[in-house]
Every structure is written in structure tokens, then in C-alpha cells.
A = this chain, B = another copy of it.
Amino acid sequence: MPQSPPTTPAKRADAERNREKILSAARAAFAAPDADASMAEISRQAGVGMATLYRNFASRRELLEALYTDEVDALVDAAAAHEDAPAGDALFAWLQRFFTYFSSKRHVASELLEDSGDSNPVFGQNRARVLAAGQPLLAAAQDAGEIRGDLTLEQILDLVGAIAKLPGEASYVEPILMAALDGLRAS
């Protein structure tokens, strides 16, 4: 990564802040489907120069991959955060988080797919991380008899992902998600 190493704590903090400002501007740009998500516009919105932008992310693709991985980090952290809730509730809260993640990452993921194809290792690696993070939640909810035992986490995430891909407003799609989640309860 062509990022020159900052030498003092103040410079390191500055560099970290710039990186965060860029990621946050890029996240906002990709959340609005019609927004201009060019590198120039992202640098403008982040309030950093193009040189700083490219020092942090050598290419648009590198920025996209960082955005994508950041979302997965948040999702993986969320799995740990719910550990103290009752097993079924913890799983449902995390699945709803997955739904939001899946809905919001779509523009980033589809541009990455176009640019680098299915074979970009970022997809497989992150999928494996998501499955590993959710697996203990599902196992606990199944052990507690709260969630049906005949589906794997992969099947459940495919179901939630398929619903997240449906076109339509949240008021149309969310009741569909609620019904599907109810279907996961052990009867």
C-alpha cells in the first residue's frame, strides 16, 4: 500500500482521520444510488485533496474493497455484540443487521463485480468471515430450541440476501423479511 508511514503520533492520528473521512464520504456516495461517486467527488466531499485520496487508496478499486471489508468488519463485530441476548433474539438481531448490510453494500459489490469479476478473493474471504461470525449465534439458537434445525447458516443468509435484493421501498420489503424470519422459528 503506497501510504507513506507517518512519523509522529499526531501525524498518525491525522492520517487515520483522513482515511476515515474518505471512507465515510465514499460510503455516503455509494448509499445514494444516483449520487456522483467519482474519485474527484469523493475527495471533495471528504475535504481532502486528490493526492491524499490516492495516497490512501491507490485506485478506485482499492477504495471499494476497503469499503466492502469495513462493512463486513462491522457485521462481524455485531455478531459478538449480541452474545448476551437470548439466543433466538440475538440471531434475529444479527440477521436484520445482515439484511441492512446486504441492502447497503449492493452498489459497492456490483461495481466490484463488474471491475474484477466473481473471482475477486475479497468476496470469498468476506463470505467466510460472515459465516464464521454468525455460526455460533445460529448454533446457540438451535440448541436452545428457538430456531428450526433443518437449515444451515448459508441457507438462512441466502434467504435473507434474496429478500434484500427485492426491488421496492422498505415498507414493502421489510414485512417480507419479518415473515421469512418468523419461518425460521422452531414450531
> Which A residues fall within an 8 A CB radius of B?
148, 150-151, 155, 158-159, 162-163, 165-166, 168, 172, 175-176, 178-184, 187
Contact = CB atoms under 8 A, between A and B. Distances in A.
Nearest to A154: B172
Contacts of A148: 179, 182
Contact of A180 (B150, B159, B175, B187): B159
Contacts of A158: 166, 168, 176
A172 B150 CA distance: 11
Contacts of A182: 148, 182-183, 187
A175 B150 CA distance: 7
A165 to B, nearest CB: 7
A179 B166 contact: no
A179 B184 contact: yes
Contacts of A178: 150
Nearest to A158: B166
Contacts of A168: 158
Contacts of A179: 148, 150-151, 159, 180, 183-184
A159 B163 contact: yes
Given A151-B176, A179-B180, 17 more contacts: A148-B182, A150-B175, A150-B178, A151-B175, A151-B179, A158-B166, A159-B163, A159-B176, A159-B180, A162-B165, A179-B183, A179-B184, A180-B180, A182-B182, A182-B187, A183-B183, A183-B184
A181 B165 CA distance: 19
Contacts of A187: 182
